[in-house]
Amino acid sequence: MGKIKCLDCKELFEENLKNYDDGDSIECPECGAEMIVEYPSEGKPRLKTPKQKFWDEDEEFEQEEFEE
């Protein structure tokens, strides 16, 4: 278990990110904001908002277009 800070309301709550897979969502018990669990290739798991996840995927798509 570890303390997680909500990306929206900044409230701290207890959650074990090891119980979640990459792409799973967590809801803040205080404000109900949705956060997506992301496992980078190195380092600890982190949380992103659905909007951040969308923009990251869009940037990856654009980079692939330019590489071809």
CATH code for position 37: 2.20.28
> What is the DSSP code string of 16-54?
-GGGS-TT-EEE-TTT--EEEEE--SSS--EEE-HHHHH
Q: What is the total count of domains within the chain?
A: 1
What is the pTM for the complete model shown? 0.67
Is residue 11 very low, low, confident or very high in pLDDT (cuts 50, 70, 90)?
very high
What digits encode the pLDDT tens for the residues 38-64? 988 888 888 888 877 655 555 554 445
Domain region containing 54: 2-67
Q: Is the pLDDT of residue 66 over 60?
A: no
What digits encode the pLDDT tens for the residues 22-34? 999 999 999 999 9
Q: Is the pLDDT of residue 65 over 60?
A: no
